[in-house]
């Protein structure tokens, strides 16, 4: 897991503060302090699992002694009606943690499932699906992990993971060549430089300037095929902009190496997962 679990614990505390300002009034009134309960997390529709370890940490944040037993792994596709984890422990704690754990898993599984749909569409083309920075504030680490559970790959995790020279950066620098030269003069030696191009003639300039990766932004499929022929494998090419499930196959067949899709994180629906007494 490309996740810093120390940061996850901090996030979990924030999530509980949001949901439980003072204490869980219902659980305190209705459940004895020493009552023990056993619940099962189950799928209510077909899902691609993501976030089991996070769900376990959520429950154990309120009851460190609880028992969490998972029968599925992240990345596994499950049909509806499958109990994939059981949790046994202090009833008050588990009931208080229920919604936070479900919210998180429903979101992560939704992203994993949506990603898997896009990955299936481009099977056999040689192109890889990658995510973007279009993530929910505060949840990027988890949403990008969910993408990997669905078979996608991560682009930049954050602004410090690489240099991407977009149209506004290039406008400020004066040209693609000037922007790349400045980036190369100051970037850490292992940092890649990607240049965004929306015209084929810009691709030539980016290539000559020494870009490590070239993004083909909102280009037609014909223009991307022309760019692929021009570059001839010298640097990786990324297709970006307005990619949908019904258009991604055609874009992949142009010969690009990567296709970045904001929709897999930005627009993925949450799936239906429940917690029931067992």
HEC per residue, 91-133: HHHHHHHHHHHHHHHHHHHHHHHHHHHHHHHCCCCCCEEECCC
Does the structure show a pLDDT above 90 at 5?
A: no
Tell me, yes or no, if 166 is annotated catalytic: yes
**Over the stretch 81-98, which tens digit does the pLDDT of each residue have?**
999 999 999 999 999 999
Q: From the candidates 131, 196, 205, 238, give the one annotated as an active-site residue.
A: 196
Q: Residue 133's CB: how many other CB atoms inside 10 A?
A: 17
Q: Are residues 82 and 170 in the same domain?
A: no
Q: Are residues 107 and 217 in the same domain?
A: no
CATH code for the domain of 156: 3.20.20.70
Does the structure show a pLDDT above 80 at 46?
A: yes
Q: From the candidates 56, 98, 131, 217, give the one annotated as an active-site residue.
A: 217
pLDDT of residue 21: 85
**Over the stretch 133-151, which tens digit does the pLDDT of each residue have?**
999 999 999 999 999 999 9
Q: Are residues 126 and 213 in the same domain?
A: yes
pLDDT of residue 1: 65
- If you average pLDDT over residues 186-215, what whole number do you get? 97
Tell me, yes or no, if 134 is annotated catalytic: yes
**Over the stretch 224-238, which tens digit does the pLDDT of each residue have?**
999 999 999 999 999
Q: Are residues 13 and 106 in the same domain?
A: yes
Share of the chain above pLDDT 70, in %: 100
Answer whether 224's CB lies under 8 Å from 256's CB: yes
Q: Residue 47's CB: how many other CB atoms inside 10 A?
A: 26
- If you average pLDDT over residues 29-49, what whole number do you get? 97
Measured in whole angstroms, how far is the alpha carbon of residue 64 from the centre of its chain? 28
Q: Are residues 25 and 109 in the same domain?
A: yes
| pLDDT band for position 269 (cuts 50, 70, 90) | very high
**3-state secondary structure at position 141:** helix
Q: From the candidates 28, 133, 134, 192, give the one annotated as an active-site residue.
A: 134
- If you average pLDDT over residues 44-55, what whole number do you get? 97
pLDDT of residue 2: 75
Q: From the candidates 166, 199, 234, 244, give the one annotated as an active-site residue.
A: 166
**Over the stretch 107-127, which tens digit does the pLDDT of each residue have?**
999 999 999 999 999 999 999
Q: Are residues 261 and 139 in the same domain?
A: yes
Structural domains of the chain, count: 2
Q: Are residues 73 and 180 in the same domain?
A: no
Q: Are residues 237 and 152 in the same domain?
A: yes
Domain that holds residue 26: 5-113+269-277
- If you average pLDDT over residues 10-28, what whole number do you get? 94
Q: Are residues 32 and 128 in the same domain?
A: no
Q: Are residues 152 and 20 in the same domain?
A: no
CATH code for the domain of 30: 3.90.1170.20
pLDDT of residue 22: 86
> How many Cα atoms are found within 13 Å in the side-chain-facing hemisphere of 53?
15
- If you average pLDDT over residues 58-75, what whole number do you get? 98
Q: Are residues 61 and 191 in the same domain?
A: no
Q: Which residues contact 201 (CB under 8 A, 6 or more apart)?
A: none
C-alpha angle with apex 187: 185 to 191, nearest 5 degrees?
135
pLDDT of residue 11: 96
Q: From the candidates 77, 99, 140, 153, give the one annotated as an active-site residue.
A: 99
Q: Are residues 103 and 126 in the same domain?
A: no
């Amino acid at each position: 897991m490309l996740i810093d679990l120390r940061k996850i614990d901090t996030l979990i505390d924030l999530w509980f503060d949001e949901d439980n300002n003072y204490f869980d009034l219902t659980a305190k009134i209705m459940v004895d302090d020493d009552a023990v309960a056993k619940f099962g997390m189950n799928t209510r529709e077909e899902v691609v699992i993501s976030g089991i370890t996070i769900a376990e940490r959520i429950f154990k944040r309120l009851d460190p002694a609880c028992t969490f037993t998972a029968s599925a792994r992240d990345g596994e596709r499950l049909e509806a009606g499958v109990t994939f984890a059981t949790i046994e422990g202090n009833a008050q704690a588990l009931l208080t943690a229920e919604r936070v754990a479900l919210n998180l898993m429903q979101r992560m599984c939704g992203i994993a499932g949506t990603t898997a749909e896009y990955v299936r569409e481009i099977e056999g083309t040689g192109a890889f699906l990658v995510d973007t920075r279009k993530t929910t504030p505060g949840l990027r680490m988890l949403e990008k992990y969910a993408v990997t559970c669905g078979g996608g790959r991560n682009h930049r995790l954050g602004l410090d993971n690489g240099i991407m020279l977009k149209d506004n950066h290039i406008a400020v620098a004066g040209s693609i060549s000037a922007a790349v030269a400045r980036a190369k003069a100051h970037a850490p030696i292992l940092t890649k430089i990607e240049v965004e191009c929306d015209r084929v003639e810009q691709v030539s300039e980016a290539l000559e300037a020494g870009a490590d990766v070239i993004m083909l932004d909102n280009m037609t499929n014909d223009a991307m095929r022309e760019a692929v022929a021009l570059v001839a494998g010298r640097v990786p090419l990324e297709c970006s902009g307005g990619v949908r499930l019904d258009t991604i196959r055609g874009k992949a067949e142009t010969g690009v190496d990567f296709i970045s899709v904001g929709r897999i994180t930005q627009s993925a629906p949450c799936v239906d997962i429940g917690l029931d007494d067992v």
